[in-house]
Structure 1
Amino acid sequence: MLTLVAASTMAACTQSETLGPRSVVTAIIEKQVIPDNNAFAAAAQKQQESINSLCKSPSADGLQDARESFRSLALSWSRIEWLNFGPAREGNRRETLFFWPDNRGRGLRQIEELAVSTNAAEFEGAAFAGKSVAVKGMPALEYVLFGQGSDAFYQRGKKAD
């Protein structure tokens, strides 16, 4: 993947630029890493807004908006997931965002258990912080938005009001 990024970045360089190691790394950072991370941050913000809106006012349209936001988030994540160094490695950030592969299916089982929980305290503060990374990231959100029973999510929210 890094070779592909380097090749596409070098192709974007003008003829007058020197293609030494420093200029290639700088170009990758400036033309790929920073813009793609900014795009991911914007997609994450949009996802948060759509989820907040869905929770505040459950509806089929709100669920569809949250699903579309998730698709954008997943696509933007795919452009930066190769960054497996630096700040992404600190504090399990990368794994918390996207715990995968889950070869034993433990994450899915934990997500399914949490999804049917009626104990709101499990989702708050220290209780949620202490849970596995498998229930905190994009695969967990994907399950909530697209998994079995997700179409009824907004209806369950209405009944709780």
Structure 2
Amino acid sequence: MSKEDTYIAAVGVGAIWKASLHGDAAWRIAMTSEHARSPSPVMDPAIGRNMWEFEPVPFENGMRMAFAIAPFRGSYAPAELDSKEIHVGVNDSWDEITVVYLWMTEPGIEFEPERLIGGPLSLASGRQVWVTAGTEPLLQKEEHGNTGSILEPQIPGQHDVRAPGFIVRGYKFG
């Protein structure tokens, strides 16, 4: 985070894609500038780095759900945790999904989530950023035997979601 900016990147693709929440102005999912300058970017940087742009989520009662990440269990792969990473425990259940939420609160707003993962981190305006986890019913069938995962951006107004975010789906390569 910097000034009023909040950045979100997945470990596996953080060098390629990131979500940028710039205060109350420009929210987007874009190719990183470092990857755009690399010898073989995933797409031609001449067409622009911003793939998805969207309006900031409005505050309600001094808080807003700013972003959500919902990984299906078929997207999980064994991996070593870096000492800087936070592990979010999940139930191995076919009918629920654990979602990580990024919340923002206005200065002076009390926020007491049930499952706090990180924060608060303060922005220049006095707003605070919190990371929580929750469980939601899973309404779609998952695929199993996957060999990787893909990020599926979700955008309010384009998809039936309250906040922008990523669904992380398992994927069979080959």
TM-score (norm 1): 0.25
Q: Which fold has the larger relative contact order, with Cα–Cα distance below 8 Å and residues 6 or more apart in sequence?
A: 1
TM-score by length of 2: 0.23
Q: Could you say which structure has the higher helix fraction?
A: 1
Higher strand share: 2
